Structure 1
Amino acid sequence: MTAAASAREILTRLHDVMARRLPAQAKLNAVVDVIGTALDSEVCSIYLLREGVLELFATRGLAQEAVHVTTLALGEGLVGTIAANVETLNLDEAATHPDFAYRPETGEERFHSFAGVPIIRRERSVGVLAVQHEEQRRYADVEIEALQTVAMVLSELIANADLIDAAGAPSTRLLPTAASHAPGFKLVDGMAAGVAVFHQPRIVIEHTVAEDTEAERHRVYAAFDKMRDQIERMASQAEFGGGGEHDEVLQTYKMFAYDEGWSRRINEAIDSGLTAEAAIERVQQRTRQRMREIDDPLLRDRMHDLEDLSNRLLRIVSGQLGTAAQMGLRQDSILVARNLGPAELLEYDRRRLKGVVLEEGSLTAHVTIVARAMGVPVLGRVRDVRKLIAEGDLLLLDTTEESLFIRPSQAMQEAFEAKLALSQKRRAAFAQLKNEVPVTRDGQRVTVMVNAGLRDDLAALDLTGADGIGLFRTEFQFLVSATLPQREAQRRLYKDVLDAAGDRPVVFRTVDIGGDKALPYLNHDEEGDEENPAMGWRALRLALDRDGLMKAQARALIEAAAGRTLNVMFPMVSEPWEFDEARALFEAQRSWLSARGKKLPIEIRYGAMLEVPALAEVLDVLLPEIDFLSIGTNDLTQFLFAADRAHPKLALRYDWLSPSILRFIRRVVEQADAAGVPVTVCGEMGGRPLEAMALIGLGIRRLSITPAAVGPIKAMVRSLDHQGVRALVTTLLAEPRTPMRDALTAWAAERSIELA
């Protein structure tokens, strides 16, 4: 029997039970008999959340004396774990599970197998439906599917019968009125002020069991047609122009909208006896459960796109508008949501939308890419926003400080406005430097380039007056795509980058994927789960192993740079032979294209990134082979200190101005200078004025930094005495007893060096 048929059989019987004029308790008693009989299960029990605990409300197979007596706290026992985690458990031996808790009054000791599903109402667990059996066996997928469908119908019965008291109902607590602060994670940089607008009030499904299956199916078909029309219209109206990652995002989003697998799953849920709304919600619940089980952040982001579409389809089929975008923003607003899909963000009036606050979100999410293109600041990973914020609250958003201020006091507003005005004034002053050359007061020229990875970043070259692109992260194109980017798509992107740069140099870093930047369309089974992904099978290691991917990228880069100079840099080189293999692969592709009469670059310059400390010990072997060297300070620092830079307790513990880091970089610079190889520092260290000043003191002449840092770095360089800072850094590193940061800050203050 299929899952749909099994569920339909149970739902038909449940429909009869629910239609009878019986007290709620009698209905639940009948329900456990129906489910137990249908699944041939010796035990079927319903636990409901009351007064903060899960209470056994009805059972077939356990001791009747335990009903309304046995209770479990959220997170306690198997039932409490299911409710707390909103997850399904399916065990052939319940007692072996670490969360198993024995309740002697139930008489359950003779039952071995156990399966339980959460009963969900408005996205939270309000109870648990569980079955047990004497025999040791895992319940079949068809049985679990049936249980999950039945649990959805039970939530309607429970709500209509008022079986859940205030403690189990959705929270009606009063929101705080005092000013408060919530930390988050910067996704898109910026500052914004506006009133809180919740993206989407929850649509409550009132009827779950269908009277006419075919009528429900036609409702879903009509809703799909309307939703796809909306997506097509939005994609055609997107005002970004000229292609870009956001266009690829929308194409991926459209792919989900036309996914036959998704519509088939909704149809199967209708076959089981659910209404159109309940069927969409049922499939959405499965998606949410899969999202909780997925560790890969990129796959989770793609799941968010599917949830966004589910919400849209649910609103259409129910006839409820629901989103703030459709109702219109009446004033400057900051949007608050658990998560957003890219198309939903595009619906908002960009004149009124000033910022976005998300409970979830990531740097590689589609909504982040689109928000960056729109110029909307986004703060992600803000916990419990619905408990902290009420609709209409005034919010101050400062993603640079990774902070959200809720219902700010007058003093907080004044301080924010002053900082915003100062920030705008500084930006204006830095913008005035775009045509100024970064030369120290004693005549030392410093090359200041930008890091990039998106087409939208290319505008920063002219806006900042940067000397070029010192690091183009080619993996971004791979990360935002649902499938492996074709060679022609790669070639077009690289050509666009070179065209935008004109005569200014561009350094393309080959793909740095793998590890913590896994791609959903590459098979990672053979690598397994990595405990230390930053130090794992990634970057050049993976590219040399999967050389088909690197060959396609090499050919795309060579073709894109026809008639120009191509600068290629290999990431995470640990030993010289890795660089040699990568260069040989590129040269083989150049020969292949040449043999076919293709126009080639006038020159290919090869460089390496020094991120792995081991490479510094063999520089005498590597330097004669390379044209340039880049020091990647982000990874280098964490490898030198054995400290994960993403770990909250370690992120601020190790200073870039530590003597160990500075001495290491100085040694590299001295060796490279002696070999006549130019050195660039890439990474956050070079974009901070004080740290950049120290790097110049070490002999660094080339920096590649974020576009926003170009103005401040230019201002610092033009106020600096090069010989003075070289002498200072030499003295401090010879006797590193004084804290380096304090000494450098004091020296800069005495000489009025701009470090703002």
Structure 2
Amino acid sequence: MLNAVAAARKILTRLHEVMASRSHAQAKLNTVVEVIGKSLDSEVCSIYLLREGSLELFATRGLAQEAVHVTRMAIGEGLVGTIAGNTETLNLAEATAHPDFSYRPETGEEKYHSFAGVPIVRRERCVGVLCVQHADPRRYEEVEIEALQTVAMVLSELIANADLVDEDEAWGLSPSQTGTERLRGLALVKGLAIGQAVYHQPRVTIEHTVAEDIEAERQRVYLAFDKMRDQIERMAAQAEFGVGGEHEEVLQTYKMFAYDEGWARRINEAIDSGLTAEAAIERVQQRTRMRMRQIDDPLLADRMHDLEDLANRLLRIVSGQLGTAAAQGLRQDAILIARNLGPAELLEYDKRRLKGVILEEGSLTAHVVIVARAMGVPVLGRVRGLRGALREGDQVLLDADAGTATIRPTPALTEAFEARFAKNRERQAVWAGMRDVEPITADGTRITVMINAGLRDDVPMLNLTGADGIGLYRTEFQFLVSATLPQRERQTRLYREVLEAAGNRPVVFRTVDIGGDKALPYLNHDDGHGEENPAMGWRALRVALERGGLMKAQARALLEASAGRTLNVMFPMVSEPWEFDAAKAVFDQQLAWLKGQKKMLPEAIRYGAMLEVPALAEVLDILAPKLSFLSIGTNDLTQFLFAADRSNPKLAERYDWLSPSILRFLKRVMNNVAGYKVDVTVCGEMGGRRLEALALMGLGIRRLSITPVAVGPLKELIRKVNLPELTAQMDLWLANPPADMRSALTRWACEHGIDCD
């Protein structure tokens, strides 16, 4: 291997002089092929570059000079095209024996038998090919292939700096990725948006590949390794990952690679050959990618992906390019591109510039989706191959309604989308004009329409929408976006600000819903970690009752913030009446303490429960007498009823909210509480959809708490509804369900002049 290092270093030393010269790009490439050919004692050395979708012979030593800028090969054509198409290395003793060999008479290559070629890679894509040929039929030595691969990396810098390939190739996009393309995914937050693609984690740009001082580069890598290993150790020590389960396995693999001497040695050898620290890491990463393409074993492929992720982390550390796009600031209307996002990360972005989000992963139940919905930002998730499909700065037409994103659209597509976007804004303007209109049905029934919130910035939406109050304030958002457990004083201050901003309109505070898939890194999770079904596990009220201090602090904060006002407090994920009793006892205890301290108390306290667990419906006769209100959380309730994880893309849209089983269940709940003075509210996403809201009103539900953007459309719908007619029809359908309830309800709405789009 030392021979490989010496050979590469010898060539790079000479290339460094070539690149530093004032010659024009063509002259430099002409010199480069001479240097490589002589150093490897090869009779032919040629460079092909990707231009206008084909590989053009740009410089050669040994082939006919008349073929330069004349000989072209398509991607996948001939040996050169095969190397570019597969981003792979070829080393052949007899070139003509290869099935992809393509003879080009103008080059005069018929006398050469051996052939070796390596891809010239720029930003993970092939933009050219470097190849050598020899008259004698022989395979090139591994030392020579290693040297060629290292030189190809340096050539990519020269090529990019000299603008020798089209901008699209320099960005690393193949010809098929430069035209219009439509990506499909799962609609997580519906809406339309236009903007330029911006990566949440910007790509690291390697500016210099040839080292000035090898020892200085080696020291930079050593320090980066130390820092990366410290980060991995801290991650492994965090209680968020607990003991056992997949997280620990992932971290153990990370640690294995982080301390792998073979990986570190290969990077060191690349530096010895004359590369900078960044280029050395990228050089080893390129080898890893080539190996990944040849791996059929999915488990081994996953491990190679882990190494890829770790190499990216090391590259970011050594280059100092650690910030996200949020830290750098958005400069134009942007569509954010990411593998996944947390709620705190999303909140860092300028809301005026952030128009939409596209995720490679993401799920309907993720908290970032709830935050995005509150911000009015459309989100498309589960988009496969996202990072390989577009580049930074590409125009994107995001249609989260249809679950698609069009990248690099034609002017005609953009014009049509903008027309639709404008029409959508007109409708939104009409709905915004409903702010001061009361939601009263055609037969004179007042429907209560409230909003769901969780951020301080959500509260002004009360005035903008004319909503009746906040039917669900998710208190856990303050915990999720905080680096440490929020102190009681901070909680009190937030709750008081929310109540003051709401004025005389009610605010229903849901106690913290954490745990399961919403683990907080600063809380020690001894139990329930690594659950296979976290949504159905150790979360919400179950965690709060176990963590007495957490619930006591929140109870005190809510009671103190509500002094002189009415406090509406709701407990999430109640499964049995005793859980409600235990939670209320915590509030009673804190209330008694405040009385003893002569503190000012709430004027009244109304206690409620969320019906998300189906079991609670069977004991409402026991619980209802203790309740002031009951809120039905349709998001969790639906997946529990159908045993269908909504974060699973195969199940996410399989079961319909308008299924007779859901509607019959909700009707039974309404019947079970009919004899009690309990306000029933639907506070899930179901209530914010016009057709679903129509069905809910037909079931007898008169209170809805929805996302702010749905208030206007819902008010418009309510004013067209004749409840007696709707209720009678729903009763008929529940007794004898149609084959397709959604279609039947849509037809009924159209016949009665109600637009349920």
Which TM class, normalised by the smaller chain length? 0.5 to 0.7
Question: 1:572 matched to which residue of 2?
Answer: 573
Relative distance call for 1:53 and 1:648 in structure 2 (3 A) is: same
Distance 2:184 2:361 in 1: 13
1:3-14 equivalences under 5 Å are: none
Relative distance call for 1:618 and 1:356 in structure 2 (3 A) is: closer
- The answer as to 2:545 corresponding to 1:540 is no
Relative distance call for 1:368 and 1:748 in structure 2 (3 A) is: closer
Segment drifting more, 378-387 vs 476-485: 378-387
Distance 1:458 1:155 in 2: 63
Verify the 8 A CA contact 2:8 2:151 in the aligned structure 1.
no
Deviations 1:82-130 (A, max 9, x none): xxxxxxxxxxxxxxxxxxxxxxxxxxxxxxxxxxxxxx9988699xxxx
SS across alignment from 2:746: helix
Verify the 8 A CA contact 1:220 1:276 in the aligned structure 2.
no
- The answer as to 2:441 corresponding to 1:440 is yes
- The answer as to 2:196 corresponding to 1:206 is no
Q: 1:696: Cα distance to partner?
A: 1.2
Q: Aligned letter for 1:518?
A: A
Deviations 1:480-530 (A, max 9, x none): 222222222222221121111111001111111111212222223432421
Deviations 1:139-172 (A, max 9, x none): xxxxxxxxxxxxxxx9996643449999xx9966
Deviations 1:70-91 (A, max 9, x none): xxxxxxxxxxxxxxxxxxxxxx
1:38-437 equivalences under 5 Å are: 52=86, 159-162=149-152, 173-176=174-177, 178-185=179-186, 190-194=191-195, 200=202, 202-204=204-206, 206-207=209-210, 211=214, 213=216, 278=278, 311=316, 314=319, 334=335, 355=356, 357=358, 359=360, 379-389=380-390, 393-409=394-410, 412-437=413-438
Relative distance call for 1:492 and 1:309 in structure 2 (3 A) is: farther
Question: 2:656 matched to which residue of 1?
Answer: 655
Question: 2:685 matched to which residue of 1?
Answer: 684
Deviations 1:518-543 (A, max 9, x none): 22222234324211111111111111
Q: Aligned letter for 1:644?
A: D
SS across alignment from 1:175: helix
- The answer as to 2:609 corresponding to 1:608 is yes
Verify the 8 A CA contact 2:451 2:467 in the aligned structure 1.
yes
Question: 1:487 matched to which residue of 2?
Answer: 488
Relative distance call for 1:493 and 1:347 in structure 2 (3 A) is: closer
- The answer as to 2:711 corresponding to 1:710 is yes
Verify the 8 A CA contact 2:363 2:646 in the aligned structure 1.
no
Q: 1:359: Cα distance to partner?
A: 4.5
Relative distance call for 1:597 and 1:369 in structure 2 (3 A) is: same
Distance 2:613 2:353 in 1: 46
Could you tell me the TM-score, scaled by structure 1's length? 0.64
SS across alignment from 2:675: helix
Q: 1:175: Cα distance to partner?
A: 3.0
Q: 1:418: Cα distance to partner?
A: 3.1
Distance 1:748 1:397 in 2: 29
Q: Which has the larger radius of gyration?
A: 2
Question: 1:632 matched to which residue of 2?
Answer: 633
Relative distance call for 1:631 and 1:15 in structure 2 (3 A) is: same
SS across alignment from 1:614: helix
Verify the 8 A CA contact 1:175 1:390 in the aligned structure 2.
no
Question: 1:497 matched to which residue of 2?
Answer: 498
Segment drifting more, 680-689 vs 487-496: 487-496
Gaps of 5+ in 2: 13-34, 41-82, 92-119, 127-143, 157-169, 228-258, 290-297, 300-308
Q: 1:419: Cα distance to partner?
A: 2.1
Q: Aligned letter for 1:703?
A: L
Verify the 8 A CA contact 1:359 1:381 in the aligned structure 2.
yes
Deviations 1:218-274 (A, max 9, x none): 9999xx9xxxxxxxxxxxxxxxxxxxxxxxxxxxxxxxxxxxxxxxx9xxx99x988
- The answer as to 2:530 corresponding to 1:529 is yes
Question: 1:81 matched to which residue of 2?
Answer: none
Question: 1:510 matched to which residue of 2?
Answer: 511
Q: 1:643: Cα distance to partner?
A: 1.6
Verify the 8 A CA contact 1:336 1:356 in the aligned structure 2.
yes
Distance 1:677 1:439 in 2: 21
Question: 2:644 matched to which residue of 1?
Answer: 643
Relative distance call for 1:316 and 1:490 in structure 2 (3 A) is: same
Question: 2:111 matched to which residue of 1?
Answer: none
Distance 1:515 1:677 in 2: 30
Segment drifting more, 618-627 vs 521-530: 521-530
Q: 1:375: Cα distance to partner?
A: 6.8
Q: 1:333: Cα distance to partner?
A: 6.0
Verify the 8 A CA contact 2:220 2:318 in the aligned structure 1.
no
Deviations 1:351-373 (A, max 9, x none): 87755545467889999899889
Q: 1:613: Cα distance to partner?
A: 0.9
Distance 1:155 1:595 in 2: 82
Distance 1:608 1:343 in 2: 28
Relative distance call for 1:197 and 1:157 in structure 2 (3 A) is: farther
SS across alignment from 1:675: coil
Question: 1:461 matched to which residue of 2?
Answer: 462
Q: Aligned letter for 1:647?
A: N
SS across alignment from 1:466: coil
Deviations 1:521-573 (A, max 9, x none): 22234324211111111111111112221111111111111111111111111
Verify the 8 A CA contact 1:484 1:521 in the aligned structure 2.
yes
Segment drifting more, 636-645 vs 203-212: 203-212
Distance 1:125 1:391 in 2: 15
Distance 1:650 1:494 in 2: 37
Relative distance call for 1:347 and 1:736 in structure 2 (3 A) is: closer
Q: Aligned letter for 1:504?
A: R
Distance 2:186 2:211 in 1: 38
Relative distance call for 1:338 and 1:640 in structure 2 (3 A) is: closer
Distance 2:588 2:329 in 1: 58
Distance 1:524 1:406 in 2: 42
Give the superposed CA RMSD: 5.3
Segment drifting more, 563-572 vs 487-496: 487-496
Segment drifting more, 651-660 vs 495-504: 651-660
Relative distance call for 1:309 and 1:566 in structure 2 (3 A) is: farther
Distance 1:602 1:348 in 2: 39
Distance 2:694 2:439 in 1: 13
- The answer as to 2:723 corresponding to 1:722 is yes
Q: Aligned letter for 2:425?
A: Q
